[in-house]
Amino acid sequence: MLYLSDKAFLILAFNTAGMLLINKTLQNNNIKTDLVPAPPETGTVCAIVVRVNENDLETSKSILSREQVVYKDIIEDKKLKLQGLIDRKLGLAVSVEFLEILKKIEAGDDLSYEDIVYLLKTDKPKELDVIYATADRIRKEMVGDAVEIRGAIEFSNYCCKSCKYCGINATNEIAARYRMTEEEILEVVDNLHREGIKTVILQSGEDPLWSTERIIKLIRIIKARTGMRITLSVGELTKEEYKELKANGADNFLLKIETTNRKIFEDIHPDDDYDRRVQCSKWLKELGYINGSGNIIGLPGQEISDIARDIMFFKEMGINMIGIGPFIPAKGTPLENLPHGNIELTVRTVAVTRIVCKKVYLPSTTALASLDKDAQVWALNAGANTIMLINTPEKYRGSYRIYDNKNMVDMDSAIYAVKKSGRKFPAYLKISKEMNNVD
């Protein structure tokens, strides 16, 4: 039997097209590859790299040279080793099981499903302190101290789907519908660009009148005018549509799995199929998107074990951005009378996701901010590194009510959260210079 090395190597490309070509060429030659987020030392030019096992390295090199596929570099996929997690002072305040998990984290080894369940479940205060501190250290090592600030425009709340939790679902008659025009969207984009924000998130319901062709026209203009990075969050499309959008300027795509428990998924998404959703996420990856997923904490019937599987899924799929938010009931939906998800469990899920997935974007979500003014601060201290501002024009904002009491995350609240968590503003923001607290 072939011995599989636990060492892996990363093949770095010059750009996304190159990365995709390398991946395809190797796969066509039966080499097993993974697309993974690039480690910090490679910079952020090409955010995804191709990983191959050490056993396949030499064959891969000769395949690429034979087929004249260029690459920029090959580096070892180094494990992130952390020293000093285990401290004698921990003493009896932590369990033997917990110490075993810490050993794995120190050595840079992957955690098992059981380890993840343990971290999500423990109620020992000292263990919790260590979990949060470890997530915070890994965040610092992998993505630094600056909090990424992105601007979201919720450009239409028309939706043809009936997701049971979502306040703008097709069947919710109390939702006041709006659809922004291209001009209205561009006006907001120009403002974001002036503030120095580098990424705009365009989010909507699944609105047939904002067709793929129309979105393509819009993103082409945004790219030409501002050069900003574009994140789309417009739901399930065909592979061809995702491809067209990518070719015309979309960089990132946010399509949350919401839950990896198939039964719950199908119960809360009467129009969607679980396998299809996973397929969409795989296509996004294959097409070279920075691939966003995430889950909702506190769905009816959801157990800690389900959340642990969600985290395994993010890791196995090589997801780059993971939005983790508590469930919040929305009036007019079938789930309107349920309690909201637990804040501590949500923040803890952020922390464990950082420990497991390492170099990823983890937003401190609006849903968290909606439950407590300080919840965004807690998430930033537990591994999160991104805040999404809501830039939907005031006259529409209240109608993008995916859940009730949705908080307004604006620049002021982001400044509050960044300061209170002791973090830094990114240098690209105009406002950062005045804040004098730039990374």
CB closer to ligand SAH out of 98 and 403:
403
59: left (phi over 0), alpha (psi -120 to 50) or beta: alpha
Sheet arrangement for strand 199-204: 321-326, 290-297, 252-254, 229-233, 199-204, 148-156, 386-390
Give the nearest distance from C-beta 95 to ligand SAH in angstroms.
33
Give the nearest distance from C-beta 190 to ligand SAH in angstroms.
24
Give the nearest distance from C-beta 279 to ligand SAH in angstroms.
15
Give the nearest distance from C-beta 19 to ligand SAH in angstroms.
25
CB closer to ligand SAH out of 33 and 391:
391
Give the nearest distance from C-beta 333 to ligand SAH in angstroms.
7
Q: CB–CB of 48/288 below 8 Å? A: yes
In the complex, which residues of this chain contact ligand SAH (CB under 6 A)?
A: 165-166, 203, 205-206, 233-235, 255-256, 258, 296, 325, 327-328, 330, 367, 402-403
H-run or E-run covering 226: helix 212-226
b/e burial code for range 175-186 (CB count within 10 A of at least 16 → b): beebebeeebbb
Give the nearest distance from C-beta 204 to ligand SAH in angstroms.
6
CB closer to ligand SAH out of 148 and 206:
206
Could you give the CA distance from residue 334 to residue 325 in angstroms, rounded to a whole number? Answer: 19
Q: CB–CB of 321/290 below 8 Å? A: yes
Task: Report the SS3 class of residue 88.
Answer: helix
Q: Which amino acid is at 294?
A: G
CB closer to ligand SAH out of 288 and 329:
329
Q: Whose structure tokens read 């395949």?
A: 63
Cβ neighbourhood burial of 17 (10 Å; 0-12, 13-18, 19+): exposed
CB atoms under 10 Å from CB of 423, counted, come to 22
CB closer to ligand SAH out of 166 and 215:
166
Q: CB–CB of 321/291 below 8 Å? A: yes
Q: CB–CB of 186/225 below 8 Å? A: yes
Q: Which residue is nearest to ligand SAH (CB)?
A: 403
Give the nearest distance from C-beta 149 to ligand SAH in angstroms.
19
Distance of CA 30 to the CA centre of its chain: 30
Q: Which amino acid is at 87?
A: D
Give the ranges where 342-392 is alpha helix by DSSP (H): 343-357, 366-371, 375-380
CB closer to ligand SAH out of 226 and 233:
233
CB closer to ligand SAH out of 294 and 426:
294
CB closer to ligand SAH out of 83 and 337:
337
Give the nearest distance from C-beta 206 to ligand SAH in angstroms.
5
Give the nearest distance from C-beta 203 to ligand SAH in angstroms.
5
CB closer to ligand SAH out of 11 and 402:
402
Could you give the CA distance from residue 229 to residue 16 in angstroms, rounded to a whole number? Answer: 14
